[in-house]
Amino acid sequence: MRRRMSLPSTPPVRPHGCFITFEGTEGGGKSTQIRLLAERLQRLGRAVLQVREPGGTPLGEEIRHTLKHSPAGQSMTPEAELLLMNASRAQLVRETIRPALARGEVVVCDRFFDSSLAYQGYGRGLPLEAVRGVIDFAVGETRPNLTLLLWVPLEVSEARRRSREASSPGGVGVRDRFEESDRGFFQRVEQGYQAIEAATPGRIRRIDATQSIEQVQADVWEAVSRLL
């Protein structure tokens, strides 16, 4: 009687994790589009993790408060800002992003290292090579598969920020140290994003965020569906 050879069982196929980041100046509608994308992916059966920068972990949220809202951050130097931002990022990458990607999840992040190049490099005027060195140390090999740059001109960004503040209780929004920066700072940030986009055409997809929410959502999905 011939004995049947037993073959090793084939392990189940796990979908690869995917890392998508959203970038842009203030007032581009990132939060809305991240929510809409996550909801659509979840309806399709994908596990989605939404995170934000700075923040995304208990330690990162403490750093976020210091960077953006704490009165103690009023006199913060650009160097301290860069290091705190990347301390939060290093924790987020190791505690949250890498484990989620290993589980095959789609990670959608509100800002990532491009923000440091745009805000601390171009905006604050820190040497770009120094900024890149700090970023490399913080994130290691963890890089986005796709970055969606929600683009609005500076005038639109300013108008949306004023509208957001006016619609908050009492007409006064939560203090944000970055939004208190002068117009020259945001002009440099805008130029920074343009330079980053030009240098990284394969990863960054610019989307006109002056369009309707529905059209921006459609453009976001076109880019994401190609990736997936």
Residue 197 covered by a domain: yes
Residue 6 covered by a domain: no
What are the structure tokens assigned to 219, written together?
């453009």
Quick one: residue 185, left, alpha or beta (phi over 0 = left, psi -120 to 50 = alpha)? alpha
Local confidence pLDDT in tens for the 228 residues of the chain: 444 444 444 444 445 799 999 999 888 999 999 999 999 999 999 999 999 999 999 999 999 999 999 999 989 999 999 999 999 999 999 999 999 999 999 999 999 999 999 999 999 999 999 999 999 999 999 999 999 999 999 999 888 888 877 776 654 457 789 988 999 999 999 999 999 999 998 999 999 999 999 999 999 999 999 998
Print the domain residue range for 94: 18-227
Residue 118 covered by a domain: yes
Domain count, the chain: 1
Amino acid making up residue 159: A
Residue 8 covered by a domain: no
Residue 132 covered by a domain: yes
Q: Which helix (H) or strand (E) holds 61?
A: helix 58-68
CA distance 149 to 204: 7
Closest CA to 213 of 16, 11, 34: 34
Q: Which CATH number is 152's domain given?
A: 3.40.50.300
Give the position of tokens 């990132």. 30
Terminal-residue alpha carbon distance, the chain: 50
Residue 11 covered by a domain: no
